[in-house]
Amino acid sequence: MEKSIEQTSQKTNRKVIKNRVAYLDKQVPFYTPFVGILGLLLLWELIAQLGFVSPLFLPAPSVIITTGWEMLTNGEIISNLSASLYRILMGYALGSVFGILVGLILGFFRTADAIGTPIVYSIYPIPKIALLPLFILWLGIGELSKVTIIALGVFFPVVINTFSGVKNVDPLLVKAAVTFGSSRFNVIRKVILPGALPMIFAGLKLAAGTSLLLLVSAEMIAAQEGLGSMVLHYGNLMIISKLMVGVLILSLLGLTFNKVLKWLEGKLIPWQ
């Protein structure tokens, strides 16, 4: 958007007025985002190769990649990753389904709100990982206790977001639905749920980070397999390149998680 006004009367004294907020719509070439990451990797590689830092403490990216490839081919990554994926997906699914359900009920029914909300808010501030020993005693050291802790960590942000999403639905839309013959159940299904969906997704995204954190913590405390125990294991052995591979995979896992949620949000909320 180039806007210019010219003073045509005196050509010698011409002053062109330019758009002074052009930087607001400045376009960046598509490769710019990669430049930063590549630059950082290059710098890291250089520092490691030139021997500024002992490779024992900071292995070069190239070393991490080759170590990663070895661990991938000998199946170490696959077995650890699949154990972790099972836990986080089960926990996340359970926590979000129950979270959305409970959030809808608390938001819609006044009595449920009065009874349930104080309970939710009193359990919410407990750091969930503190409950792991308790769950191990109750549910055993197996998968169930880890899945439960993740589910619980996901449940709360989802409940609270769903709840406020329901409260924020325009009452006029509920009136409109009732006018056109909607039953209570249909009001929840066709008005409250879609109306709360943007907030529900905010909760789901928040919970994605929490679930990853709980996964790693729980696996560090009580697991033989999984990315968390793998990272801890190689830390204890001082094999930092393998430790870094674990961290790298966790970072990729988090990224994928976010991408999937974003894609799902676009699919489920096309009206925004």
Which residues of the chain form contacts with other proteins (CB under 8 A)? 170, 172-173, 175-183, 186, 190-191, 194-195, 197, 269-272
195/254 with CB nearer other proteins: 195
Sign of CA dihedral 15, 16, 17, 20: negative
**Closest CB 24 distance from other proteins, rounded Å:** 24
Residue in the structure block whose two tokens are 């009580």: 222
Q: How far is the CB of 187 from other proteins (least distance, A)?
A: 10
Nearer to other proteins, 15 or 110 (CB): 110
Q: Which residue has the tokens 């801890």?
A: 232
6/170 with CB nearer other proteins? 170
Q: Rounded to whole angstroms, what are the CA distances from 97 to 12, 89, 143, 162, 194?
A: 72, 12, 19, 11, 15
What separation in angstroms does the CA of 136 have from each of 72, 98, 123, 215? 31, 22, 19, 14
CB neighbour list of residue 196: distance below 8 Å, 6 or more residues apart = 103, 104, 107, 162, 165, 166, 168, 169
Minimum distance from CB of 205 to other proteins (Å)? 19
User: Smaller CB distance to other proteins: residue 197 or 232?
Assistant: 197
In whole angstroms, give the CA distance from residue 22 to residue 223: 55
Torsion angles phi and psi, residue 144, rounded to 5:
-60, -40
Q: Compute the least distance from the CB of residue 207 to other proteins, in Å.
A: 22
Q: Judged by CB, which is closer to other proteins: 34, or 180?
A: 180
User: Minimum Å distance from CB 108 to other proteins?
Assistant: 17
